[in-house]
Amino acid sequence: MIKTYYYNYEDNSMYHDVDLENLDQLLENPDSLLWIDLYDCSAEELHYVGDLFNFHPLALEDCLQESPRAKLDKYDDYHFFVFHALRYFEDAKEEDEITSTELDVFMGLNYIVTIHPVALAAVGKVARICLRETELMNRGPEYLLYRIVDNIVDDYFPIIDRLGERIDDLEDNIFLNRGQEITEEILTLKRTIILLRKVLIPQRRIFGNINGHYSFFVNEENRPYYLDLVDHLDSILDTANTYRDLVNSTTETYYSILTGRTSEIITVLTIISIIMMPLTVITGFFGMNVHLPGSDNPYYLWFILLGMITVALGMMGFFRYRNWI
């Protein structure tokens, strides 16, 4: 599906679903801005738009395939971006708890083309504003790009907050519970944080050097917005790194607790085995099928039981004296 939004600088008006066959006329004024949004589009629709703007075939190929990380490619008269929005489903299967949705962006002097496989809330919010007013498109293409990416970054914050709550619950539960549930929660959190950092770090690099060698040109009036975006990415990335360290620390603590509990169990079982050894010797000796002195005594059995109890209590006292139990 192809949606178009056109800001006409001359009459300060917004137009929608414009005819792309008049592309040269639409882009004639450098102060006007054309936004083409493609989602759930076919290869034919993508190549149709690509041919209109003469996009590089490698960039179009990246749009048809899922890129593993965010990036910025520079071409002669436009830039090609790859971003990733995150979707968080805590109640889904572990492998699908957090997924990334790719957003490809072509940005030229007075146009932006966005491509994404499914409808994105970050893009939809901007589109709804553009349907009503010129506020977002009269400041240039980089400001429109900023608003889209800023919405993507804002969607990271609820995920970060929820991960923090889950880590707090995990730290409490490792002292109360044990078993497969705790292990699965630790592994799930690790996978989620790894994917989060995999998305954040490349995007941070794109905006980390505005107007620098590895970045793209941004008008001076729009630079504060991108600097604020970088601050948000830094904050989220720092929090993600902290969560990674907390989960690793919690994992070590959990396995230390398991080791301690296992050691306690082994200690108890060892003490029981040690106590049973002399008792087994006694019962084996007096249980032989031969006549032993004193076996005719009616209190013979009770003397043996008393001796066994004495041995057991003596060993328990010795273990306690040595602080083994």
Considering the domain boundaries, does residue 95 fall inside one? yes
- Asked if residues 220 and 138 have their Cβ atoms less than 8 Å apart, the reply is no
CB atoms near residue 108 (< 10 Å): 17
What is the pLDDT, as a whole number, of residue 68?
79
CATH number at residue 111: 3.30.460.20
What is the pLDDT, as a whole number, of residue 212?
64
Looking at 105, 137, 169, the residue that finishes a domain is 137
* Residue 157: CA count within 13 A, CB half-sphere: 11
Considering the domain boundaries, does residue 162 fall inside one? no
Considering the domain boundaries, does residue 212 fall inside one? no
Considering the domain boundaries, does residue 193 fall inside one? no
Considering the domain boundaries, does residue 22 fall inside one? yes
Looking at 137, 167, 186, the residue that finishes a domain is 137
CATH number at residue 298: 1.20.58
pLDDT in tens, the chain (325 residues): 889 999 888 888 888 888 888 888 888 888 899 999 998 888 888 999 999 999 999 999 999 888 878 889 999 889 999 999 988 886 655 556 788 899 999 999 999 999 998 888 899 999 998 888 888 888 889 999 999 999 999 999 999 999 999 998 888 888 776 667 788 888 888 888 988 898 888 888 888 777 665 577 788 888 889 889 989 999 999 999 999 999 999 888 888 888 888 888 888 888 888 888 888 888 887 777 777 776 777 777 788 888 888 888 888 888 888 877 7
Give the count of domains, the chain: 2
Looking at 108, 137, 166, the residue that finishes a domain is 137
**Distance separating alpha carbons of residues 101 and 93, to the nearest angstrom:** 17
| Interstrand relation of 111-116 and 33-39 (parallel, antiparallel or unpaired) | parallel
Structural domain containing residue 10? 1-137
Of 182, 122, 143, nearest in space to 31 by CA: 143
What is the pLDDT, as a whole number, of residue 11?
87
Considering the domain boundaries, does residue 184 fall inside one? no
Task: Say if pTM beats, i.e. exceeds, 0.85.
Answer: no
**One-letter amino acid identity for 160?**
I
What is the pLDDT, as a whole number, of residue 95?
55
- Coil/strand/helix, residue 10: coil
Considering the domain boundaries, does residue 272 fall inside one? yes
Considering the domain boundaries, does residue 236 fall inside one? no
Angle between helices 156-173 and 223-286 (to 10 degrees): 20
What is the pLDDT, as a whole number, of residue 235?
92
Of 253, 235, 114, nearest in space to 173 by CA: 253
